[in-house]
Structure 1
Amino acid sequence: MKFEKITLQTPEGASFKIRLYSRRQFTAFPDRRQWPIAVIFPGGGFTGISEREVEPAALAFLAKGYQVVVVRYHLAVTTPFYPAAAIMGLTVLHYLRENATMFHGDPTKIVTVGFSAGGHLVAVMNALGGQPEFLKQHGFTEQRLHPLAQVLCYPVIDLRLGFPNDLKQAEKISPDQELWAAQNLVTAQTPPTFIWHTVTDELVPVINSIVYVTALAKNQVNFDSHIYSQGVHGLAFANVASSRVNHPEDIAPRAASWFELALSWLRTCFASSNQTEL
């Protein structure tokens, strides 16, 4: 495995960092394979980054044949989260389109993966990536910047549905209220979506995922959804690798099935896009 920290710059000049975890090609035989790319947006309540959704996520996807990028996006500490964080996410997609083959990544098989607040970011940025006027306004030359698919893990979807718990915090995340409710940004062009949540999530109510799935269905977007009856918020991979010490609730075998289900569903997305299936 090769690990790199790379500094990127948005078209408007804001610098931020990504972490690239890439598999090395075998050298005994010529290996021209290009691997799908998982772009990870960890959670952290819009003001931090959850460690449990960084390296555990990177290593899990890497072990399944993906190249992995983890995005250190803008946080709502002194200035609003949006649109800065979304512009950074779209900058990563632009960078990967141009440079993925340099590390044996397939620029046609990019999957954005968002956990919790990172799920809101993924849903919003992929909606904005389908708006040519937004892209032009912020210096992008593309008419459309979309991944092949998106994976949303216990996502915040609507800032009025339980997290954050007051409107002042929501305004700090986005002064533009049109970005509060990601379900209202769904169109027929929304990327195919895998989404999962738990009924007992104590921080981000499950209704967030339910309203998003409803919007996907209304717009006839390909999706796969899984709602588990039990599990705390922030399960990540719900196994030992992503658990906290002395927190047995972080290990939830049934919820842990989400990862293999997502990988299986993503293979169908790769196949239907006329790309070679992994």
Structure 2
Amino acid sequence: MIVLPGGGYAEHAAHEAAPIVDWLSGLGIAASVFRYPLNVRHPVPLQALRAEIRRRRASGADRIGLMGFSAGGHLAGLAALAPGAEAQDAVQFVVLGYAITSMETETYRPARLILLGEDADPELRRSTSLDALVTRESPPFFMWHTAEDAYVPPDHTYRLAVALAAHNIPHAVHVFAHGPHSLGLAEGAGDASMWTALAASWLREHAAA
């Protein structure tokens, strides 16, 4: 499993990197962090991630999953959904935590400006919005968010969930009532801390399918 920390495409959040790998390793899932390029325009991060997926596959990985948080979740979704991927670029399952999914909303604007620039036209913003990229061949998704997230509102998760449902793609969605953005493992964060147990159950089904 490839872990993609958040950070608004400007940095890599440490608490969404090594601690996530340690947790996945405890579940018996081989995982490592991919530190994708920062402060660069699309499609540079996507190309880098696809190259990493190909490298993992060439090293013998059979099933490859992505786990991304915030902007890392956006990149994970792009790699799973954007057209132009080759067979060796494919991923089999995706886990998103409070992910940016839409470049058509004004949230989270700083990440959009880094990735697309100030004058991104509607077509570019649409083509990098995950809900617009879902097809009947898309992989299964697990998504979680908090209703109180002020930086990336849960509407981002809802948008993608509606698109997945419309295309009959297996998915799980959990939106917890309380909690800020960027919770990571969410230890001690009330009900949101349940996401790891829920994801572990989902991963047991999809990581070994």
TM norm. shorter chain > 0.5: yes
For residue 182 of structure 2, the aligned residue among 226, 234, 246 is: 234
User: 5+ unaligned residues in a row in structure 1: which ranges?
Assistant: 1-37, 101-106, 136-141, 240-250, 274-278
State the SS of the aligned residue for 2:64: strand
RMSD (Å), alpha carbons: 1.7
CA shift for structure 1 position 178: 3.5
Q: Which one-letter code corresponds to 1:111 in the other structure? A: G
* Counterpart in the other structure of 2:134: 186
CA shift for structure 1 position 58: 1.1
Higher relative contact order (CA 8 A, sep 6+): 2
* 1:106-125 mapped onto 2 (5 Å cutoff): 107-125=61-79
* Counterpart in the other structure of 1:94: 54
Task: Determine the C-alpha separation between the residues in 2 that align with 1:177 and 1:159.
Answer: 5
**Greater per-residue helix proportion:** 2
Task: Determine the C-alpha separation between the residues in 1 that align with 2:170 and 2:80.
Answer: 15
State the SS of the aligned residue for 2:45: helix
Matched, 1:195 2:139: no
Contact between 1:154 and 1:198, CA under 8 Å: does it hold in 2?
Answer: yes
Change in Cα spacing, 1:93 to 1:165, as seen in structure 2 (3 Å) is closer
Matched, 1:39 2:9: no
Query: What is the number of equivalent residue pairs in this alignment?
Result: 203
CA shift for structure 1 position 164: 2.7
* Counterpart in the other structure of 1:206: 154
Kindly, what percent of the aligned residue pairs are identical? 28
* 1:1-278 mapped onto 2 (5 Å cutoff): 38-76=1-39, 79-80=40-41, 82-100=42-60, 107-128=61-82, 131=83, 134-135=84-85, 142-143=86-87, 145-165=89-109, 170-174=112-116, 175=120, 176-239=124-187, 251-270=188-207, 273=209
Larger Rg: 1
User: 5+ unaligned residues in a row in structure 2: which ranges?
Assistant: none
State the SS of the aligned residue for 1:254: helix
Name which of structure 1's ranges 144-153 and 191-200 shifts more when overlaid on structure 2: 144-153
CA shift for structure 1 position 181: 1.3
The ranges of structure 1 where at least 4 consecutive aligned residues each deviate by more than 3 angstroms after the TM superposition are none
State the SS of the aligned residue for 1:156: coil
